[in-house]
Chains A and B, each alone.
Chain A
Amino acid sequence: MRRTLTMAMVAMALGAGPARSQTPTDVRLDISSGEGRRIRIHCESLQPGGDRVAGTWSVQADDVLAHDLDWSAVFLVSKAWAGGSPPMDVQAVVGGKLTVNGSQVRLNGEVRDLPARRPILLREYRGPVTDWRSLVHAFADDIVLQFSGEPGVARTRIAFIAQNGRNKELYTMDYDGARLAPLTADQSIALSPAWSPEGSLILFTSYRGGTGPRLFVTSSTAGRPFLVSGRPGLNTSGSYSPDGREILCTLSQDGNSEIYVLDARGGSPQRLTNQRSIDTSPAWSPTGREIAFTSDRTGTPQVHLMDREGGNVRRLTYDADYTDSPAWSPKGDRIAFVARTGGGFDIYTCRPDGTDTRLIVSGGANENPRWSPDGRHLVFSSNRGGARGLFVSDLDGTPPRKLETGGLISLSPAWSPRPASGGSALRVTEGSPTPGGHP
């Protein structure tokens, strides 16, 4: 009898052994196994606090946060303010408190599991009222990090070209279309923007000055362009190397378009291609060791790869009679490109060895695909909505969503890198549950 009892107690002890106390940071779900499968998350309204204006702010913040989570491509979002109770399979509920005190705003963000409502993430964000969107975006990025293991891209920006009559000017905006700002007002033609690796500069092609296309660089926050390359002929398609020390571009100083590497100030040109054919649209691999580019050396324009020093050229795909505009994914695992099929232009991705080609977007003319820094999205220009505008694909089969760009005819987008942490006025601290808030 006593032996039996002892064994029973040991069995209980063993059963209790593997159970570990879980802290909020232990909760991390593996979503890599189920591509296209999103996590259900429920957004509750942020509770306003402090000044009377907080109520208005918090309603806007609710929408921004819900959009961020939806657009992360990690979550399937339901909203408490849209009515109804959370769907049965909701895994977490998001909420918290937004407090406005004069010129300062504080967001106490909370994520809790269901149905126990134990805290998964509690964090406090502070900053100037004028930057309230950044606070909400930072919270969204942290939620994405918590559930996917990688931060989101809600604090990134997108540079693009807006067409007004015959003029094309350079603009930037938040990745969700907010805070639209022109960087040039040259009444000229700006083309193909590209961000520097840390996001402070934008390289672009411009006809400003009236002497053909030249390469310029400008601060990403204040438009004051400096000339990078004004060699005879074309100076186009500039992009910074992953370490920011070099610039890839297309120059035609030798008669036809060839691909060059310049130093970051535009000097020490090094020619990488030397063909009678046209070589253009160069794109770095994320290691900086390989370059994808378009060449018509085989008859029709096709995406090719080569080594950083030139040479070792190989064609990427053989499936379409026209491929162009390559963009290497930030992880280096895929290359996006445009293929002409019938009357339209479709966007595909494939592996750098040319295998595993996948159709991402078709219907109409879809061009200039560029990756988000987390590799979960592609932004591209398209005429699919009528006027030429910008769209984002989440690469998981969901229809592309249109980016609102203030009614401007928009093309040639470029997605910024993530902002450096601590680079803004934003302050983040690990928080405790809001007293009396968010049940």
Chain B
Amino acid sequence: MRRPPTAADPARGTGPARRGGGTPLALLAVALLAGALPGCYAPQIGLLRSGLDSLRAVVDTMQVRDELALAVLRDTRREVGEQRDILLSTRASSGTTTQEMMEQMGRLQGKLDDVMGRFQQISQRAAAPPAAPQQVDPNQLYDQAGQDLSQGRYALALQGFRDFVRRYPTAELADNAQYGVGECFFAQSQFDSAGVAYAKVEESWPQGDKVPAALYKLALSRDRLGQKDAAKKTFEDLVKRFPNSGEAQLARERLGDTRRR
């Protein structure tokens, strides 16, 4: 942090002043000697005076230079101090920043892991359905829904059976799947929806082997809803149209029950 040199810059004259370090003292000694001999050598006194003047000038100059030098020294010292302070504070703040940064990075990494995990889950989920229509085996879809039903996962089973009916309405198991839809509702005591689902078995697959079972369950659903007359009609319908089915046997018993009541 050197200041630009100026005309009054003492540094410029530093070299010569030092070199002639003994000269002003010698002149002073001559002057004193001259003072000790008054009136003897008048022309020499004038010379001495002028020498003295020049000595004073030199001393003055030297004092100015010293003061300037001191000022510069003070300035420099202050600047060094400032520099040190700046340096120290910079070091401290850079330490804090690093630590903060590391913590922040740690937090960000955690969040990143989180997001990546979620992203993977989402992308897997997202990837599965588009691949499904081509790849899924109808039997596998039906079997899985059946497993879900047997294990009490009714929401999943319902989704599976409905999916099957929508995708493979002409498959041999389509009426079974529709019956499964009814079972999912019946198991959860949603007899209204169950009735609708069972009724659809005959509507959509009148030749299917699930019709007697679906009619029996339709009648039971109506019975559970308190629609006794509608239930009775359905039982009678079942007995009339599928007299040899196991469900017709059960229906006869139910009709016997209702008659007894």
Chain A residues with a Cβ under 8 A of chain B:
6, 9-10, 13-14, 16-18, 271-275, 285-287, 289-290, 307, 309-313, 331-333, 351-353, 355
Known: A18-B110, A287-B152; 14 extra A-B contacts, CB below 8 A, are A13-B102, A271-B250, A272-B250, A273-B246, A275-B246, A275-B249, A286-B151, A289-B187, A307-B183, A309-B216, A310-B250, A311-B217, A351-B143, A353-B143
A271 and chain B: residue at smallest CB distance: B253
Task: Produce 1/0 per residue, B186-197, CB < 8 A to A.
Answer: 010000000000
B149 and chain A: residue at smallest CB distance: A289
Task: Produce 1/0 per residue, B82-117, CB < 8 A to A.
Answer: 000000000000000010011101100110010000
Please state if A10 and B102 are interface contacts (CB–CB under 8 Å): yes
Please state if A18 and B151 are interface contacts (CB–CB under 8 Å): no
Given contacts A286-B152, A351-B147, A353-B146, contact A274 B98 (CB under 8 A): no
Of A9, A16, A309, the most chain B CB neighbours within 10 A belong to A309
Please state if A14 and B246 are interface contacts (CB–CB under 8 Å): no
Residues on B with C-beta less than 8 A from A352 are 146-147, 150
Q: Does B231 belong to the interface (CB within 8 Å)?
A: no
Q: How far is the CB of A337 from chain B (nearest CB, A)?
A: 15
Please state if A287 and B102 are interface contacts (CB–CB under 8 Å): no
* Partner pick for A285 among B110, B150, B217, B246, CB 8 A cutoff: B150
Please state if B109 and A9 are interface contacts (CB–CB under 8 Å): no
Q: How far is the CB of B179 from chain A (nearest CB, A)?
A: 7
- In the bound complex, CA of A309 to CA of B219 (Å): 12
Q: Does B199 belong to the interface (CB within 8 Å)?
A: no
Per DSSP, chain B at the interface is helix
Pick the 7 closest A-B CB pairs, nearest first.
A274-B249, A332-B151, A13-B102, A312-B213, A287-B152, A311-B247, A352-B150
Number of B residues with CB within 8 Å of any CB on chain A? 30
Q: How far is the CB of A3 from chain B (nearest CB, A)?
A: 11
Given contacts A275-B246, A355-B143, contact A333 B150 (CB under 8 A): yes
Q: How far is the CB of A17 from chain B (nearest CB, A)?
A: 5
Please state if A9 and B150 are interface contacts (CB–CB under 8 Å): no
* Partner pick for A332 among B103, B113, B152, B212, CB 8 A cutoff: B152
Residues on A with C-beta less than 8 A from B146 are 352-353
Residues B205-256 near A (CB distance < 8 A): 210, 212-213, 216-217, 220, 246-247, 249-250, 253
Q: How far is the CB of B9 from chain A (nearest CB, A)?
A: 38
Please state if B147 and A333 are interface contacts (CB–CB under 8 Å): yes
B146 and chain A: residue at smallest CB distance: A353
Please state if B105 and A13 are interface contacts (CB–CB under 8 Å): yes
* Partner pick for B102 among A9, A309, A353, CB 8 A cutoff: A9
Residues on A with C-beta less than 8 A from B213 are 307, 311-312
- In the bound complex, CA of A211 to CA of B39 (Å): 172
- In the bound complex, CA of A274 to CA of B253 (Å): 9
- In the bound complex, CA of A351 to CA of B149 (Å): 12
Please state if B150 and A274 are interface contacts (CB–CB under 8 Å): no
- In the bound complex, CA of A54 to CA of B151 (Å): 46
* Partner pick for A353 among B98, B147, B250, CB 8 A cutoff: B147
Please state if A17 and B106 are interface contacts (CB–CB under 8 Å): yes
Residues on A with C-beta less than 8 A from B179 are 312
Residues on B with C-beta less than 8 A from A10 are 101-102, 105
B251 and chain A: residue at smallest CB distance: A311
A328 and chain B: residue at smallest CB distance: B150
- In the bound complex, CA of A355 to CA of B143 (Å): 9
Residues on B with C-beta less than 8 A from A351 are 143, 147
Q: How far is the CB of B71 from chain A (nearest CB, A)?
A: 36
A297 and chain B: residue at smallest CB distance: B246
Please state if A313 and B220 are interface contacts (CB–CB under 8 Å): no
Please state if B143 and A274 are interface contacts (CB–CB under 8 Å): no
Residues on A with C-beta less than 8 A from B212 are 311
Given contacts A10-B101, A274-B250, A352-B146, contact A331 B109 (CB under 8 A): no
Given contacts A309-B217, A332-B150, contact A14 B106 (CB under 8 A): yes
Residues on B with C-beta less than 8 A from A14 are 105-106, 109
B143 and chain A: residue at smallest CB distance: A353
A289 and chain B: residue at smallest CB distance: B187
Residues on B with C-beta less than 8 A from A309 are 216-217, 220, 250
Please state if B246 and A17 are interface contacts (CB–CB under 8 Å): no
Residues on A with C-beta less than 8 A from B149 are 289
Given contacts A312-B213, A353-B143, contact A274 B246 (CB under 8 A): yes
Residues on A with C-beta less than 8 A from B246 are 273-275, 310-311, 313
- In the bound complex, CA of A271 to CA of B253 (Å): 8
- In the bound complex, CA of A77 to CA of B164 (Å): 47
Q: Give me 26 A-to-B residue pairs in the complex whose CB atoms sit less than 8 angstroms apart, sorted by A's number.
A: A13-B102, A13-B105, A14-B105, A14-B106, A14-B109, A16-B106, A17-B105, A18-B109, A271-B250, A274-B246, A274-B253, A275-B249, A287-B151, A287-B152, A307-B213, A307-B217, A309-B250, A310-B216, A310-B246, A312-B179, A312-B213, A313-B246, A333-B150, A351-B143, A352-B150, A353-B147
Q: How far is the CB of A272 from chain B (nearest CB, A)?
A: 8
- In the bound complex, CA of A353 to CA of B141 (Å): 12
